[in-house]
């Protein structure tokens, strides 16, 4: 999987309430959620984000609630992948379980600014900042997680194993 | 055999292994799987999409539509309907609505649905609450919940454990909430990322179950996977009259390995207040300064239990809430509600000028029943003070224990309970 897009850059501890405020959690419709994605962190995001764009964030991205609405909203808004210095644990699980590509790279986050053009290769973990002509390698994704993604997510892997009743 | 922590022992047992090592990926059997009106609709949709027909065990899948109860609008009513129809279709034993519903993490321990030695997962981040009973319990997402509903198992990475030892006697007005706020203030909102927090020491031994539940509840606020307190006589007294399910007490080996150790002398701790917009922005209440309030909320899965309401009633007795403050009191479950009424605390609250809400998450997540306008400030006994958590993104939430909250409601500003 390869992605190309422009950077939306955010700070540390972006919590799930800022990714998708609870006042919109009375629905789980992806298109509806996408309209309010990042609303409390950045009012312009939902309107200006373009297909393929990439979110870059400091440490502990996605902390707070377990709401899968957060990765759903990000994915539905057109974001191709999220790169952060670190992810909150439940967000990390959710992203893999539902197929939102995420990578950890402190270097790429520190060296890139809002609007930079990035190219990301999920398989090799290579991140190229085209604007600044620099290259980074993300922390490798654990093998088990790669297998989950390759199976098409957690539920697909369960289905393949024939565990449905 | 290598010495293990309580968390490692529970996980090993449920993965059918003699031992587990931090970092190891395991498949563990799950005793209880929980979903609510926000997360379960997605789990149920995924369950159906993948072609599953039956849950793995109808006694072990628990649905609690507590977040927007009583249904706040048409959209939330539709979500609750999804839960209800699924509960009927699957003949779930543990489905609660109407006059039976309470805030999930207060309800499940109270009803004895979760117990010591269990592995519990919930599609709600505060599922870590049940560590207070000596269970391994952790929050997951809706897809994880769907997977467990189908198979009764889930993959986990065995976490490293951090040890927090509390010694000495708690000062007056200091509760479990203050201990956990102090820890989060010290290690930060990602200070325990991916790890299990284990709370021990002579002060924990003396802590009530309500205080223990409120401590473990906020482990997630330090980024932890779980929080846990080894079960003891307090645990036994609590679970014995509640559960018919067999339960098991585990304890850490004395030579078990921890990735960190932190000690606290409780005699030096005073009530804590977390300032906006992160639970790690903690201060001693006496250093809070003059923070004028528009609203005070006493409730939630952190501090909506009997002990919490008792403390609030003690402070509010014969007093009046400040004229320009809305005090909203939310007993976390119907049983707590009934108990508080029987004890005469409702009269105290009403005379003081408080609003008493039925059990619900309500304002805790900015859902309904007490939303803030731009610029308004609230002090709440809840667990999160993120931007916009209780309403407008320009509002502010401060976190404290119920004693500080009650005193502050009277004073109209953040206040020490000794001031009233
Ligand atoms: S009371 Fe608040 S923190 Fe607890 S489950 Fe409800 S919304 Fe979540």
Q: How far separated are the first and last CA of chain B, in Å rounded?
A: 56
pLDDT in tens, A43-86: 999 999 999 999 999 999 999 999 999 999 999 999 999 999 99
pLDDT in tens, A32-49: 999 999 999 999 999 999
Do B225 and B81 share a structural domain? yes
Confidence of residue A149 (pLDDT cuts 50, 70, 90): confident
Do B141 and B22 share a structural domain? yes
- Interface contact A69-B38, CB threshold 8 A: yes
- What number is the average pLDDT over the span A108-130? 95
- Interface contact A164-B150, CB threshold 8 A: yes
ipTM of the complex: 0.90
Residue A142 has pLDDT above 90, yes or no: no
- How many Cβ pairs closer than 8 A exist between chain A and B? 144
pLDDT in tens, B157-195: 999 999 999 999 999 999 999 999 999 999 999 999 999
CA distance B318 to chain A (A): 36
In the prediction, which pLDDT does B366 show? 95
Do B254 and B281 share a structural domain? no
| Chain B CB contacts of A60 below 8 Å | 189-190, 193, 223
Do B370 and B280 share a structural domain? yes
| B403 belongs to a structural domain | yes
B367 Cα nearest atom in ligand 1: 7
Q: How far separated are the first and last CA of chain A, in Å rounded?
A: 33
| B120 belongs to a structural domain | yes
For residue B148, give every residue at least 6 positions away whose Cβ sits within 8 Å of its Cβ, in sequence order, or none: B30, B33, B56, B121, B140, B154
Instruction: Indicate the residue among B219, B235, B263 that finishes a domain.
Output: B263
| B420 belongs to a structural domain | no
CA separation (Å) from B3 to A15, B7, B19, B63, B262?
36, 12, 9, 37, 20
- What number is the average pLDDT over the span B390-401? 97
CA A1 to chain centre: 14
Do B305 and B234 share a structural domain? no
Do B180 and B41 share a structural domain? yes
For residue B258, give every residue at least 6 positions away whose Cβ sits within 8 Å of its Cβ, in sequence order, or none: B5, B160, B161, B162, B163, B198
In the prediction, which pLDDT does B203 show? 98
Do B239 and B281 share a structural domain? no
Residue B299 is given by DSSP the state -
Instruction: Indicate the residue among B239, B263, B287 that finishes a domain.
Output: B263
Count CB-CB contacts under 10 A for residue B171: 13
- The number of distinct structural domains making up chain B is 2
Do B344 and B317 share a structural domain? yes
Asked whether B314 and B345 are in contact (CB, 8 A), the reply is no
**A17 closest CB neighbour out of B67, B68, B386:** B386
Do B301 and B224 share a structural domain? no
Q: What is the residue range of B319's domain?
A: 272-415
Do B354 and B241 share a structural domain? no
- What number is the average pLDDT over the span B92-120? 98
Of B52, B228, B202, the closest CA to residue B129 belongs to B228
Residue A163 has pLDDT above 70, yes or no: no
In the prediction, which pLDDT does A165 show? 64
| Helices marked H in B172-331 | 176-187, 202-205, 209-217, 233-240, 300-303, 306-316
Query: Distance between CA B210 and CA B150 in Å, rounded?
Result: 33
Do B248 and B357 share a structural domain? no
Q: What percent of chain B has pLDDT over 90?
A: 99
Higher pLDDT pick, A123 / B395: B395
Confidence of residue B392 (pLDDT cuts 50, 70, 90): very high
- Interface contact B193-A89, CB threshold 8 A: yes
- What number is the average pLDDT over the span B186-206? 97
pTM beyond 0.80: yes
Residue A139 has pLDDT above 90, yes or no: no
Per the structure block, which two tokens stand in for B291? 């923070």
Per the structure block, which two tokens stand in for A163? 């565990």
Q: Which residue minimizes the CA distance to atom 4 of ligand 1? A: B301
- What number is the average pLDDT over the span B319-330? 98
| B384 belongs to a structural domain | yes
pLDDT in tens, B229-250: 999 999 999 999 998 889 999 9
| B171 belongs to a structural domain | yes
β-strands A117-121, A126-129: how paired? antiparallel
In the prediction, which pLDDT does A162 show? 75
Do B323 and B237 share a structural domain? no
| B316 belongs to a structural domain | yes
pLDDT in tens, B17-29: 999 999 998 999 9
Q: CA gyration radius for chain A? A: 15
Residue B318 has pLDDT above 90, yes or no: yes
Asked whether B247 and B116 are in contact (CB, 8 A), the reply is yes
| B1 belongs to a structural domain | no
| B201 belongs to a structural domain | yes
Instruction: Indicate the residue among B218, B245, B263 that finishes a domain.
Output: B263
State whether residue B146 is helix, strand or coil. Answer: helix
Here the CATH number for the domain that contains residue B395 is 3.30.499.10
| Chain A CB contacts of B56 below 8 Å | 165
């Amino acid at each position: 999987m390869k992605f190309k897009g422009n950077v939306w850059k955010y700070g540390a501890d972006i919590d799930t309430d800022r990714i998708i405020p609870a006042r919109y959690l009375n629905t789980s419709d992806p298109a509806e959620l996408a309209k309010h994605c990042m609303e409390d962190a950045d009012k312009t995001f939902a309107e200006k984000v373009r297909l393929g764009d990439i979110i870059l964030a400091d440490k502990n991205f996605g902390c707070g609630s377990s709401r899968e609405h957060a990765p759903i909203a990000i994915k539905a808004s057109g974001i191709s992948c999220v790169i952060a210095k670190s992810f909150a644990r439940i967000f990390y699980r959710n992203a893999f379980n539902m197929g939102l590509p995420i990578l950890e790279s402190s270097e790429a986050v520190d060296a890139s600014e809002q609007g930079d053009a990035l190219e990301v290769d999920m398989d090799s973990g290579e991140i190229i900042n085209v604007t600044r002509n620099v290259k980074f390698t993300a922390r490798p994704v654990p093998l088990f997680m790669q297998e989950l993604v390759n199976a098409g997510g957690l539920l697909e892997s369960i289905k393949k194993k024939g565990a449905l009743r | 055999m290598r010495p293990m922590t309580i968390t490692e022992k529970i996980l090993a047992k449920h993965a059918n292994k003699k031992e587990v090592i931090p970092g190891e990926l395991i498949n563990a059997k799950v005793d209880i799987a929980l979903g609510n009106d926000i997360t379960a609709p997605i789990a149920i949709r995924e369950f159906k999409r993948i072609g599953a027909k039956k849950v793995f065990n109808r006694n072990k899948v628990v649905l609690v539509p507590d977040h927007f109860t009583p249904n706040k609008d048409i959209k939330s009513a539709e979500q609750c309907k999804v839960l209800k129809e699924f509960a009927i279709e699957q003949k779930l034993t543990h489905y609660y609505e109407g006059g039976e519903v309470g805030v999930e993490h207060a309800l499940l321990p109270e009803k004895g649905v979760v117990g010591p030695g269990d592995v519990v997962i919930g599609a709600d981040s505060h599922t870590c609450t049940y560590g207070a009973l000596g269970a391994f319990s952790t929050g997951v997402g809706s897809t994880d919940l769907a997977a467990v509903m189908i198979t009764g198992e889930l993959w986990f990475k065995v976490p490293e454990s951090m040890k927090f030892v509390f010694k000495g006697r708690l000062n007056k007005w200091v509760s479990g909430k203050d201990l956990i706020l102090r820890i989060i203030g010290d290690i930060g909102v990602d200070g325990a990322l991916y790890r299990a927090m284990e709370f021990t020491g002579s002060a924990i031994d003396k802590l009530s179950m309500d205080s223990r539940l409120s401590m473990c509840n906020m482990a997630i606020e330090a980024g932890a996977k779980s929080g846990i307190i080894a079960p003891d006589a307090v645990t036994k007294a609590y679970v014995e009259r509640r559960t018919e399910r067999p339960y098991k007490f585990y304890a850490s080996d004395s030579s078990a390995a921890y990735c960190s150790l932190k000690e606290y002398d409780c005699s030096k701790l005073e009530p804590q207040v977390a300032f906006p917009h992160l639970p790690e922005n903690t201060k001693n209440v006496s250093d809070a300064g003059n923070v004028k309030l528009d609203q005070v909320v006493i409730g939630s899965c952190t501090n909506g239990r009997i002990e919490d309401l008792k403390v609030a009633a003690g402070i509010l007795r014969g007093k009046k809430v400040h004229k320009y403050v809305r005090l909203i009191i939310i007993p976390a479950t119907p049983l707590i509600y009934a108990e508080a009424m029987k004890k005469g605390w409702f009269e105290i609250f009403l005379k003081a000028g408080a609003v008493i809400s039925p059990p619900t998450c309500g304002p805790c997540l900015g859902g309904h029943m007490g939303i803030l306008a731009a610029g308004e400030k609230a002090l709440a006994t809840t667990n999160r003070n993120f931007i916009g958590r209780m309403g407008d993104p320009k509002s502010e939430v401060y976190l404290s224990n119920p004693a500080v909250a009650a005193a502050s409601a009277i004073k109209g500003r953040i206040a020490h309970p000794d001031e009233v």
